[in-house]
Chain A
Amino acid sequence: MIKQLYTKPDVTKNHWPRPFCDIDFFLRTIFAYFVHTIFLILASLMYFFIMGPLSLYLRQKDSAPSDQSNLHLVEKAEYEFTRMF
């Protein structure tokens, strides 16, 4: 049993990467975590400082067309197909 525990694993049979034996994998993982953390921090800052005030503005603007209907009437709609918006 003890011998089995201390036997070096057969890497040809084990497809899982061994982080502390594979320095390249280790560095790439650290880098990926780093990039994701930066993204999360930036996204959070943007979210709270930009979207907060905007939401107040949009909520004030939000209303149904009337008290009797929520149907938005369209006088003349034109369609174009080249733009993505």
Chain B
Amino acid sequence: MYILGLSAYFHDSSVVLLDDDKILFAASEERFSRLKHDHSFPHNAIQECLRYTGIQFEEISEIVFYEKPLLKYERIIETQIRNFPQSFLQFLVSTPLWLKTKLNLRKTLRNEFLRFTETGKVPDIQFSYHHLSHAASAFYPSPFQESAVLCLDGVGEWSTATMWNGKGNQIDLIAEIKYPDSLGLFYSAFTSYCGFEINNGEYKLMGLASYGKPLYQELILENIIKVFEDGSFKLNQKFFAYNYSDYTFTKAWEELLGFPAINGESEPEQKYRDLAASAQKITEDIIFKMASTLKEKTGSENLCLAGGVALNCVANGKLAQNNIFKNIWIQPASGDDGGALGAALSLYYLKKKAPRDNTQIKNMMEGSLLGPSYSDDEIKKDLDKYGLKYKTFEYQQELIKECCKDIMDQKVIGWFQGRMEYGPRALGGRSIICDPRQSQMRDIINSKIKKRELFRPFGPIILEEDLSNYLENPLVSPYMLIVDQAKTNELAAVVHVDSSTRYQSLGVGDGRLLRKVLENLKREYSLSAIINTSFNIKGEPIVCTPDDSLRCFAETEMDVLYIGNFRIDKVGNNCERVEKPRFMND
């Protein structure tokens, strides 16, 4: 039975195709449309899904959307009523949009799907719940037969934080916190106050927090947020404007803090760094308290995490180390992109009542490499189209050895191999890699390619068996969602100002080509780690197709590109014929 899961119309539209409980394909629309956090209906992703899997649209028996649109509208209209008359402008803007498309979402979606079939038949569209989708995306792919599940995000229908108990194929809601009290929106307000974009800059605030001290923690706890012993909290709505406008915070912040919000992404002064550290500390404390409450309620040794807040890898790392739970598993696509997966899985297990025995399934997420891949013939067509010179390898081992040599020669390498990642992290499918031992490599990547804020750190990929050589409390981290303290300064380019590092570990059984590169690097050069950052330029989604990667390679000062079985060197190549990255044209 083929089940298509869908998330759309808020941010990070995505599509997932299941064959029973096997994930055949999962990808976000932004990778194909080249618009970051694209919220539109995922036409391109669905088209690519059908192409890649070779499945006809008519073969799909179930389609499920990741949330309940009418419950969401109920929340919106009730919030507007509660905030009368400040909500007048928001009411005028949002009402026509909802009346036109979202209130009759079943029909809107059906019309969108009609372009994939000539028969005019579309399966009945079904609807999951926003937080159920998050919880299902965390629990069902996890290796646990029973587990506590914690979901934290901005808001779905009404819930902003939920606690669940998962067992077998069942997942039961235990408790929830409802809108307008939201940890995700609390964090977003600080993100915005420090000059970063909401839904895009939260990880920048997390990086900035390492440079500050939580000097404003008490002030915030006394005025902005009240935290209870069980981890629940209440926001003082005097300080928040998201109920009635597009802004998250009110002027009361400036009166309380004594300094204004940053307008635009300028270099934040120390007081903003302290503010970021305060928000981060409060967020961590709330997560720990909620985890303790959940532990009490479920008695489980296992915890699964999902929701946008679960991408806070600093909090995840501390949670993993404080031993409230013995084992932790975090969904790599924790944001709304993962909602598509959770919706499909919840339908399969809860509605179809399919049995679940994950003791046999070691890696249901397949390292989160669930997007499209491209054959060498397809790649060669693009290389020839732009008239690029390249080298091909007769044996894989030759490619591996040459790549290791390039790493040792301090080159910045584009790495395009196998299937594309699902979720916001580059995990060795579409990455930029290089030697992590020299601290100047961070500046070189920044000046040559990424052009991002200097306070943001890069992370390494480390061989799982050698984690203890580099980290204080090594834990398996297959999805780069955990931060730990570095043991030494050996990997200088990936150690943050507070000696922390956000790392990905590659296990012994991992089939990724990058694992073989690391093994060879260890054998020949006694190095078990490399810098891993996403293959894109600032403002661009991670590259998806060979064409995207060639455009990014040509636009930047990247030295070498390993794409499929080909090596392209910038030296001796004329990249003028290669077009600009597509997002620059849009």
Contact = CB atoms under 8 A, between A and B. Distances in A.
B351 interface: yes
Interface string B70-106: 1100100010111111001001100110000000011
B98 to A, nearest CB: 12
Interface in A36-85: 39-40, 43-44, 47-48, 51-52, 54-55, 58-59, 62, 64, 68-74, 76-77, 79-85
Contacts of B91: 43, 47, 51
B82 A58 contact: yes
Given A55-B81, A69-B230, A77-B173, A40 B178 contact: no
B127 A83 contact: yes
Contacts of A79: 128-129, 132, 346, 350-351
Given A58-B81, A85-B74, A72 B175 contact: yes
Nearest to B290: A71
Contacts of B230: 68-69, 71
B83 A55 contact: yes
Contacts of A81: 64, 126-128, 346-347, 350-351
Contacts of A71: 163, 175-177, 228, 230-232, 293
Contacts of A52: 84-85
Given A70-B228, A71-B230, A62 B88 contact: no
B418 interface: no
B106 A84 contact: yes
Contacts of A83: 68, 70, 127
17 contacts: A44-B88, A44-B92, A47-B88, A47-B91, A52-B85, A54-B81, A55-B82, A58-B81, A70-B181, A70-B228, A77-B172, A79-B132, A79-B346, A81-B347, A81-B351, A82-B124, A83-B70
Interface of B: 64, 68-71, 74, 78, 80-85, 88, 91-92, 95-96, 105-106, 124, 126-129, 132, 163, 172-178, 181, 228-234, 293, 346-347, 350-351
Given A51-B81, A70-B233, A71-B230, 18 more contacts: A47-B88, A51-B84, A51-B91, A55-B81, A64-B234, A70-B177, A70-B181, A70-B228, A70-B234, A71-B175, A71-B177, A72-B178, A74-B175, A76-B172, A79-B351, A81-B347, A81-B351, A84-B70
Which 9 pairs of residues, A with B, have the shortest CB-CB distance?
A85-B70, A55-B84, A70-B232, A81-B126, A71-B232, A77-B173, A84-B70, A74-B173, A71-B175
